[in-house]
Chains A and B, each alone.
Chain A
Amino acid sequence: MLIAAALCPAPPLLARELTGADPVVPELRRACLDAATDLLQSSPDMIAVVGTGEHTRAFGTRGQLDLAAYAPALALDRLDTGGLDGNAGPVPLPLGLGCRLLDEAGYAGQLALHTVSDGASAADCAALGARLAGTAARVALLVMADGSARRGLKAPGYLDERSFPFDAQVTDAIGAGDMAALLTLDADLARDLMATGRPAWQVLAGAVGEQRPASVIRYCDDPFGVAYLVATLSPQHDAIPTPGRERGGDWLDRP
C-alpha cells in the first residue's frame, strides 16, 4: 500500500558537485531533501524510486550514478560519484539522483529502482505504479520527474508557449491531489515540450489510485527554463498498516 509519495525534478545539476563552486540552486536541493525526509518520516517498509528512462525496467540497488558522464573531471579526482554502496554499473540519472537524496536523508532501508519508458502509455504507467505500490505493506514512492524544458528563450529547448499551460496543468493536478488529471496528459505534447516527466507522473497517479491525497508543494520554479516541481503527497487511507508489520518479500519476485 502506498503511504507517502514525493516528487522531485531530476536535472544533473541537482548533484551539488556538478555546478562547480556556486551552489546555484541551494533552495531546490533543500526542497528535495525535505521531500525525501518526509518519505522517511512515514516509516516505509520500502521506498521505490521511479524516473523516466529509455525502457521500463528495474535496476539493482547497488548501481551508482555516473556523474563522470556529465563532468569527466570528477572522475579524475576519484570522487565518490554515487549515492549507494557497491559498484554494479551506472543507474540512470533520475534513479541515481533519487538514491542520493534518500542517502542524504539518512535512509538505509529496502529500496526498489525502476525506470518507466518514455514511450509508455498512461495505462501502462499507471499499472506499473499500482504494482509498485503493492509490493510491500508500507510503500513510499519517490518520483523523479521534470516539466517542460522549453519555458524561455534561454531554455534548453528554446521557447514554446504551450509549456505554460502544460506545466500549470501538472502543478494544479499535484497541488489538488487530482491523479486522474495526470493520466490525461498528452504524451505527444509532453515530448514536444521536452517534458520528460510525463510517464513518471503517470506512475505516481497509478500508485496513488482512486483517492485524492493531500499535498504540499515545496518548490515550483523554472530558473533555467525547465519546470522543476517538488511536492509531497500523503494518501488518506482508512487503514494504513502499522509500521513494521506485514513486510513484503522481494518486490521484484511478486506478481
Chain B
Amino acid sequence: MSDRLAPAAQQGVLRLGNRAFPPGQPVVMGIVNRTPDSFFRPAVTWDEAAAMDRVHQVIADGADIVDVGGIPAAPGADVDVAEEIRRTAGFIGAIRSAYPDVVISADTWRHETGRAVCEAGADLLNDSWGGYDARLADVAAEFGAGLVCAHAGRQSPRTRPFRVAYPDVMADVLDHVQLLARRALAAGVRSDRIVIDAAHDFGKNTWHSLEITRRLAEMTATGFPVLVSLSNKDFIGETLNLPPEQRLPGTLAATAICAWHGARIFRVHQVTESRQVIDMVSAIRGDRPPARAVRGLA
C-alpha cells in the first residue's frame, strides 16, 4: 500500500439540503437523465413526464438524492448552456415542488448551469469533469450548495481517454480532488458539503478504474465523504465483456467493494438492488444492525 496513506482522518456528518447524513449511513443517489443519448437506457427519461415518473420511482426505491443531468458524458451533439439549463432547471424546480426535502443534485460542470439549477432548488453540484469551470465552486458557495470534487485526469468535458497513463493513478486522484476541495473551501463552500469522487472511467482506462476501486480506502482516509459512480460503466463492461444492459452484477460487486472501503454516496441506475448491497455491506462492517435477526435467538 502507498506510503501516502496517512492515518485516517475522521469522517464527519455530511449535510446536503435539509438532510444530515452521519458517517455509517450510506447515501444512494438515483440517476435521472434529461438526455436523449445517455449510454444506459438512452432516452427513457427524455420525456419530462417519464423523467418525473423516474424520480417518483427512485425515491420510492430508497434513493436519498436525485441526480439530474442534461448532458451525456460521451462526446456527441453539442449541448450549449441554454439547452442544458432548459433540460434541467425547470425539471429540478418541479422535483423541488413535489419533494421539499429530497436532496437534489445537478450533474454539470458549468457555473451558468449551476446558478440556474441552484435557483431552481438544487442542493448539490455534481461536477464529474474535475473542476473544469472553476467558477462552479463560487456558485456552490453563494447558494450554500454542496460540491462534488472529482478527478477526470484533467480531460476536457465530454472527451474520451486516449492512451492515458499515470505513474500512480490513485496518487493523482488524491492530489487533484484534495486540491479542488481546498479551492472549494477557499471559495466559501462549507466543509460539511464537500464530497470527493475518483470518477471511474473519466480520464481512465479499465485498469485504472479497477485500481481506484481496489484502493478506495486511500480516498476515504482523507476524511472527505467519497462518492462513487460505478453504475453500468465501461470498466465493468470491459472487465466482464458485457453490454450496458447486462452490467448489474458487476456494478453490484464494485459497489460492495466501495461500500466496504467506506464510500458514502453511491450514484446508481438500479436503486433497489444497490440499496440492498450497500445495506448488506453496512451490516457486515458493523455500521447498521440486521433488519430482523431471530435465527438462533429464539
**A residues lining the B interface (CB < 8 Å):** 11-12, 18, 20, 22, 66, 69-74, 93, 149, 153, 155-158, 194
Cα of A157 to Cα of B155 in the assembled complex, Å:
12
Chain B residues with CB below 8 A from A157, complex form? 75, 159-160, 162
Q: Which residue of A lies closest to B170 (CB)?
A: A72
Nearest residue, chain B, Cβ from A92: B165
Report the count of interface residues on B (CB-CB < 8 A). 23
Question: Which residues of chain B are within 8 angstroms of A73 by Cβ–Cβ distance?
Answer: 207, 210-211, 214
In the complex, whether B208 has a CB less than 8 A from a CB of chain A is yes
DSSP class of A's interface residues: helix, strand, loop or mixed? loop
Whether A72 and B169, one on each chain, are in contact in the complex, defined by CB atoms closer than 8 angstroms, is yes
Alpha-carbon separation in the docked complex, A73 to B207 (Å): 7
B168 interface neighbour in A71, A72, A155, Cβ under 8 Å: A72
Q: Assess the B165–A69 pair: CB atoms within 8 A.
A: yes
Contact A69 B161 (CB under 8 A): no
Known: A22-B241, A72-B168, A158-B76. A194 touches B207 (CB 8 A): no
B165 to chain A, nearest CB (A): 4
- In this assembly, does B163 line the interface, its C-beta being within 8 Å of a C-beta of chain A? yes
B159 contacts across to A, CB distance below 8 A: 157
Q: Which residues of A contact B208 (CB under 8 A)?
A: 70-72
B296 at the interface (CB under 8 A from A): no
Interface: B167 (CB within 8 A): yes
Interface of B is mostly: loop
On whether the beta carbons of A18 and B207 are closer than 8 Å, the reply is: yes
Q: How far is the CA of A72 from the CA of B207 in the complex (A)?
A: 7
Min CB distance, A231 to chain B, in Å?
Answer: 21
Asked whether any CB of chain A lies closer than 8 Å to the CB of B222, the reply is no
Please give, as numbers and ranges, the residues of chain B lying within 8 Å of A72 by CB-CB distance.
166, 168-169, 207-208, 211
Q: Are B160 and A194 in contact (CB under 8 A)?
A: no
A22-B241, A158-B75, A158-B76 given as contacts; is B162 within 8 A of A70 (CB)? Answer: no
Distance of A158 Cα from B75 Cα, bound (Å): 6
**Structural contact, A12 and B211, CB atoms closer than 8 A:** no
Question: Are A70 and B205 in touch, CB under 8 angstroms?
Answer: yes
With a cutoff of 8 Å between Cβ atoms, the chain A residues found around residue B239 in the complex are 20
- Provide the bound-state CA to CA distance between A66 and B76, in Å: 33
Whether the Cβ atoms of A194 and B162 lie closer than 8 Å is yes
Q: Can you pick out 30 interface pairs between chain A and chain B where the beta carbons lie within 8 Å of each other? A: A12-B165, A12-B205, A18-B207, A20-B206, A20-B238, A66-B165, A69-B166, A69-B167, A70-B164, A70-B205, A70-B207, A70-B208, A71-B205, A71-B208, A72-B166, A72-B169, A72-B207, A72-B208, A72-B211, A73-B210, A73-B211, A73-B214, A93-B165, A149-B162, A153-B76, A156-B162, A157-B75, A157-B159, A158-B75, A194-B162
